[in-house]
A and B are shown apart, each in its own frame.
Chain A
Amino acid sequence: MIHLSSERWITPSSGSSRRLDWHGSRRLRVTAISIAAVVVQHGVMPDITIFGVHPDLLLLLSLVVAITGGADRGATAGFASGLATDVFLSTPLGLSALAYALAAYGTGVLAADADDLPWTVGGLAALGTAAGVSLYVMAASLLGGLDVSATRWLQVTVILVALNALLAPMLAPLLARAWRTRRPTPW
């Protein structure tokens, strides 16, 4: 079972203005985490490779948002993260956005049923990562002229799956805290 429900961090509050503050603050927190992820991805990650593969914090972030916040939030986060990735790529703008949004959305849908399945946050992130990388490669090959060998595709997928499966359980509590609301959410 995954014990990352935002209910853990629910704090009592009252009044509509207080509620608005919570919602505004929640968005602010998640936005701050997202901007930090973009800066780290493009500022630090170029210098870090694990067996020839750069970690992909933005895909990881989208998936953890989906796991802790639900499919719709995941899709939105995936779109924004993908766009932040696309800006620095030579492939058409929108390819990563599409791939990350779909992967995060699917992960969010699966996460909603996780109580009935023996999956952990790491497992869901691994599944979402494999989907995200594969969707990007397929979309970029079809629409962006990308020509990636099967070996490279496999290499990137395997390493990112392992990495995100390890990192997701560490990032999930942070995101779950950022999502905390007055009312219980599915997560």
Chain B
Amino acid sequence: MAVAQRLFAPRPTIVVVVLASLSLIVIDRAGANAPTGEFRAVVRDGFASMSDTAEWLWPFDSSQQVRDLEERNAELAGELEALRATSRQAVDTERQRNDLLALLALPTPADVDKVAAPVIAMDSTNFDSTIELGKGASDGIAENMPVVTAEGLVGRVIEVSESRSSVLLITDSTSNVGVRVGATGDVGVAVGTGSGEHLRIDLIEAESPVTDGDVVVTNGRQGSLFPPGLLVGSVASSRAAELDLRRDVTMVPSVDFQRLDNVMVLKWESP
């Protein structure tokens, strides 16, 4: 009883802390121009500087030669990713050939400028699927730019500071990607489940002939944050739910998110 009384007794510290937290939440939810975005960027850059300093001070890889080799290696890895990405486009070539006829006036992923960026950190928390890139606004990266590897779509940039950027993976539970499935081109939305293993595809009609193994690519419809034709993954299971107008469809992403070393940020702006 005494514990309960003390727990709920108003004490200045907890009242101030709760009010401060709620104020921050309200301000941060105001949108992209919220002042908290600037605060995040400053802290991230500060942390990046600290990490860089620690890395520089660390005697085992601080020699200039090693650093030069690392930079060269990152550049080459980026170029390799670009080349692989180009060759992977052929997976969907047959269908894209027809689609592109209708999209001649629109830019395709191959036309878009790219920035190769190293993945410097994976998510450090348990309910968020994000990665940290070692490049930021100074390299031309901006919010909502798509991020890919040779294997396919990784996610989109959600936070940018001067030298770092944060990418929301497509497996995150808040991620939605407009997709097209299989040879029929059924349109749906790939929704992250937070598990890191599979995604759910919503809005596929019950009578759709979607089957296991069908290729899933971005649909790039108007307003989409992603260009059309980016490989997202393949269908893992598909069944028509009883008394439901939609199919239960799950997919596995084509990217292995545990083995991300370098990625490409597409300087794509939704038309």
Contact = CB atoms under 8 A, between A and B. Distances in A.
- Chain A bound to chain B: yes
Interface of A: 38-39, 41-43, 45-47, 53-54, 56, 71-72, 75-76, 78-79, 82-83, 85-95, 97-98, 101-102, 105-106, 109-110, 112-113, 133, 136-137, 140, 143-149, 152, 156, 160
Contacts of B7: 106, 109
Interface stretch (B14-22, B92-100, B179-187, B208-216): B14-22
A39 to B, nearest CB: 7
Contact of B127 (A71, A75, A105, A136): A136
A93 B25 CA distance: 6
A105 B14 CA distance: 7
Nearest to A97: B21
B128 A89 contact: yes
A91 B39 contact: no
Given A87-B43, A93-B25, A113-B2, A101 B18 contact: yes
A79 B166 contact: no
Nearest to A92: B28
B77 interface: no
B126 A56 contact: yes
Contacts, number: 139
Contact of A94 (B14, B22, B193): B22
A94 B126 contact: no
A59 to B, nearest CB: 10
B50 A39 contact: yes
A112 B132 CA distance: 40
Contacts of B123: 46, 54
Nearest to A93: B28
B47 interface: yes
Given A87-B39, A110-B3, 17 more contacts: A45-B124, A54-B126, A56-B125, A71-B13, A72-B13, A76-B17, A79-B21, A85-B125, A86-B24, A89-B128, A90-B174, A94-B22, A101-B17, A105-B14, A109-B6, A133-B126, A136-B127
Contact of A88 (B17, B39, B44, B193): B44
Contacts of B23: 94
Given A75-B13, A76-B17, A92 B29 contact: yes
B194 A147 contact: yes
The dominant DSSP class at the A interface is helix
B51 interface: yes
A41 B47 CA distance: 12
Interface string B118-161: 00011111111010100000000000000000000000001100
A164 B36 CA distance: 30
Q: Name, among B7, B25, B50, B123, the residue most crowded by chain A CB atoms within 10 Å (CB to CB).
A: B25
B232 interface: no
Contacts of B81: none
22 contacts: A39-B54, A42-B124, A45-B124, A54-B124, A71-B13, A72-B13, A79-B20, A88-B44, A89-B128, A90-B158, A90-B168, A92-B24, A92-B28, A93-B28, A94-B24, A94-B28, A112-B6, A133-B126, A140-B127, A144-B174, A147-B174, A149-B194
Contacts of A113: 2-3
Contact of A87 (B18, B27, B40): B40
B179 to A, nearest CB: 18
B259 interface: no
Contacts of B24: 83, 86, 92-94, 97
Closest 3 CB pairs of A and B: A94-B24, A98-B21, A147-B173
A91 B2 contact: no
> Which residue among B21, B172, B173, B195 has the maximum number of chain A CB atoms within 10 Å of its CB?
B21
